[in-house]
Chains A and B, each alone.
Chain A
């Protein structure tokens, strides 16, 4: 049990000055420091039985606090056993940070704005590099990873088939169910075909496919590239005069450009089938009238709109994934961080692009729906 006593202008500390006692000791001392502003104060350590690193730090801290209040503090009667501890553990005069300082919030905020500008520029460079090498790669296969196009097409396209099919079926099914209940009230049940046909082709098909592919392949692209950066594979490629964008990203761009429209088409068809299940079982409308109705509303233009979106989404997913992958910092924990960030970002940009394209297509062709 530590005892802190004040006699005249001497603060005497008695007992073990160890980690368990330090918080209380600091409180006691702090309370008494108040009265000594601008005066002199001695600290008598002769009664200290034991002292550990926390005890020494306490003394350092008290010295600093005293100095802040212009108190002249003298530490006296340091027992023999405590001298060694003071020598080893004292941080006085060594607390000045030697390494670069962490910036304050506002500095970081300012830097954040500057970085954002730089980040957009980096992204533009990435787009430029990718576009350039993608076009060059069509005629010159050199510098591309061998066998990677087929490999990636399987990874991005084939392996996503089941999940895209399942989700699209459920979306078509559930949209049909919700709208059927409403439409039936007006005796307009057959319009389920119009509604789901248009919705799946123009919106839900491309979007749902993009979200699934973002989660599966966008994240895979980000983590693969990020891993290559942190393990110096990226540097190794450059040292072999290979451009990482060309070698790693371009085959993926080709693969995703081919597979996304296919996946989207599949999604649309299965979504419409999902709606048809509802129309047969719940509305009593057979496949024949359903498809005839569909044919009257679905134009080539709708199909092309959906496909155009799927290309744009494909490039967004691949580029955002790659962008996050290339800008990884730190070691393996950085890989996890950018992977997560890339998925969130690519879904955001997909939805933003979808809205923009929705507006463009809507106003671009005159309002005629």
Chain B
């Protein structure tokens, strides 16, 4: 049986007492697989992802990452865990006041004792991986949307995390850029054995990268299983989602 890297059980969460954004959500993400979370916008995908890195406190339920319960874990311990997790936010979330190079260097400077030269070299490697070595000295505001996502991805994988979370990496990108980003993700999975949880609703992208799919609807998991199973559930909402792209 595959190793479960992320295991969420009966997660319930909301921002106000009367509102439930996530209702008893359960899913797992296996080692070395791309698990895609899909569903209409507003159904709680980002909220779910942010719970996985404890940006929000869940109301009830359990979240296990690398076989450790993260709810209630103390701060230093969780920070150690965070170093094994890369996160790519919806809009990149690069620090706007510093260059691409410095952005990618942040995790390396803060969490390793590498020398300045070595950090420079590593940053270069990561930027070459996302084909941004020419943008080293540009500010985030000088990048296009696709470049920003790629720079953010370089930062997310700076520490070679075994687990990567991505929130809509290809939203707002053109098909060519989307495809390039997808192949990059697959390369990371295949060559580094990275486990990935990716939120997206771009159908061609899902078809390219997903091993497993979680379909969410209004805060609930409507379906979870392999991509093939997901495409033949007979559930109207899911069929419509794939048909309409």
A146 vs B97: C-alpha distance in the bound complex, in angstroms? 12
Q: Which residues in chain B, 41-55, are within 8 Å of chain A measured between CB atoms?
A: 50, 53, 55
List B contacts of A143 (CB < 8 A).
110
A interface bracket (residues with beta carbon within 8 Å of B): 10 to 19
Contact at A227–B93, with CB atoms within 8 Å? no
A231 vs B53: C-alpha distance in the bound complex, in angstroms? 17
List B contacts of A100 (CB < 8 A).
16, 18-19
List A contacts of B55 (CB < 8 A).
235, 238-239
Asked if B87 lies at the interface with its beta carbon under 8 angstroms from chain A, I say yes
List B contacts of A228 (CB < 8 A).
95
10 sampled A-B residue pairs with Cβ under 8 A: A146-B109, A227-B96, A231-B93, A232-B89, A233-B94, A236-B93, A239-B55, A239-B82, A239-B87, A240-B82
A142 vs B85: C-alpha distance in the bound complex, in angstroms? 20
Contact at B83–A241, with CB atoms within 8 Å? yes
CB 8 Å contact bits of B15-26 with A (1 = contact, 0 = none): 010110000000
A143 vs B94: C-alpha distance in the bound complex, in angstroms? 17
The smallest C-beta distance from A337 to any residue of chain B, in angstroms, reads 20
| Residue from the set A146, A238, A240 with the largest chain B CB neighbour count within 10 Å | A240
A239 vs B157: C-alpha distance in the bound complex, in angstroms? 12
Q: Across the two chains, which residue of chain A brings its CB closest to B159? A: A240
Q: Which residues in chain A, 232-276, are within 8 Å of chain B measured between CB atoms?
A: 232-233, 235-236, 238-242
Asked if B224 lies at the interface with its beta carbon under 8 angstroms from chain A, I say no
Contact at B96–A236, with CB atoms within 8 Å? no
Asked if B230 lies at the interface with its beta carbon under 8 angstroms from chain A, I say no
List A contacts of B95 (CB < 8 A).
228, 233, 236
List B contacts of A240 (CB < 8 A).
82, 87, 106-107, 110-111
Asked if B30 lies at the interface with its beta carbon under 8 angstroms from chain A, I say no
Q: Which of A142, A232, A242 contacts B93 (CB 8 A)?
A: A232
Contact at B50–A142, with CB atoms within 8 Å? no
Q: Across the two chains, which residue of chain A brings its CB closest to B109? A: A146
Asked if B90 lies at the interface with its beta carbon under 8 angstroms from chain A, I say yes
Asked if B91 lies at the interface with its beta carbon under 8 angstroms from chain A, I say yes
With A231-B96, A235-B55 as known contacts, state yes or no: A241 contacts B110, CB within 8 Å: yes
Q: Across the two chains, which residue of chain A brings its CB closest to B83? A: A241
* Apart from the given pairs A235-B93, A236-B152, A240-B110, 20 other A-B contacts in the complex at a CB distance below 8 Å: A228-B95, A231-B96, A232-B93, A233-B96, A235-B50, A236-B87, A236-B89, A236-B95, A239-B55, A239-B82, A239-B85, A239-B89, A240-B106, A240-B107, A240-B111, A241-B82, A241-B83, A241-B110, A241-B111, A242-B110
Q: Across the two chains, which residue of chain B brings its CB closest to A99? A: B19
List B contacts of A235 (CB < 8 A).
50, 55, 89, 93
A231 vs B95: C-alpha distance in the bound complex, in angstroms? 9
Residue tally, chain B, CB below 8 Å to A: 28
The smallest C-beta distance from A7 to any residue of chain B, in angstroms, reads 51
Contact at A232–B53, with CB atoms within 8 Å? no
| Residue from the set A143, A228, A232 with the largest chain B CB neighbour count within 10 Å | A232
A224 vs B95: C-alpha distance in the bound complex, in angstroms? 11
Asked if B226 lies at the interface with its beta carbon under 8 angstroms from chain A, I say no
Q: Which of B80, B93, B102 contacts A233 (CB 8 A)?
A: B93
| Residue from the set B18, B102, B110 with the largest chain A CB neighbour count within 10 Å | B110
A100 vs B82: C-alpha distance in the bound complex, in angstroms? 35
- 10 tightest A-B CB contacts, nearest first: A236-B93, A241-B79, A239-B87, A232-B93, A241-B82, A232-B89, A233-B93, A240-B107, A239-B53, A235-B55
| Residue from the set B93, B94, B102 with the largest chain A CB neighbour count within 10 Å | B93
List A contacts of B87 (CB < 8 A).
236, 239-240
List B contacts of A236 (CB < 8 A).
87, 89, 93-95, 152
Contact at A232–B107, with CB atoms within 8 Å? no
Contact at B19–A238, with CB atoms within 8 Å? no
List A contacts of B91 (CB < 8 A).
231-232
Q: Which of B53, B96, B109 contacts A238 (CB 8 A)?
A: B53
Q: Which residues in chain A, 204-235, are within 8 Å of chain B measured between CB atoms?
A: 224, 227-228, 231-233, 235
Q: Which residues in chain B, 68-118, are within 8 Å of chain A measured between CB atoms?
A: 78-80, 82-83, 85, 87, 89-91, 93-97, 102, 106-107, 109-111
A228 vs B95: C-alpha distance in the bound complex, in angstroms? 8
Q: Across the two chains, which residue of chain A brings its CB closest to B107? A: A240
Q: Across the two chains, which residue of chain A brings its CB closest to B90? A: A232
List B contacts of A224 (CB < 8 A).
97
Q: Across the two chains, which residue of chain B brings its CB closest to A236? A: B93
List A contacts of B19 (CB < 8 A).
100
Q: Which residues in chain B, 148-202, are within 8 Å of chain A measured between CB atoms?
A: 152
The smallest C-beta distance from B19 to any residue of chain A, in angstroms, reads 7
The smallest C-beta distance from A238 to any residue of chain B, in angstroms, reads 6
A235 vs B47: C-alpha distance in the bound complex, in angstroms? 12
Q: Across the two chains, which residue of chain A brings its CB closest to B152? A: A236
A236 vs B167: C-alpha distance in the bound complex, in angstroms? 12
Q: Which residues in chain A, 110-134, are within 8 Å of chain B measured between CB atoms?
A: none
List B contacts of A146 (CB < 8 A).
102, 109
The smallest C-beta distance from B86 to any residue of chain A, in angstroms, reads 8
A227 vs B93: C-alpha distance in the bound complex, in angstroms? 11
List A contacts of B93 (CB < 8 A).
231-233, 235-236
A98 vs B55: C-alpha distance in the bound complex, in angstroms? 29
List B contacts of A142 (CB < 8 A).
110
A142 vs B111: C-alpha distance in the bound complex, in angstroms? 8
The smallest C-beta distance from A73 to any residue of chain B, in angstroms, reads 36
A239 vs B94: C-alpha distance in the bound complex, in angstroms? 12
The smallest C-beta distance from B15 to any residue of chain A, in angstroms, reads 11
List B contacts of A241 (CB < 8 A).
78-80, 82-83, 110-111
A146 vs B105: C-alpha distance in the bound complex, in angstroms? 11
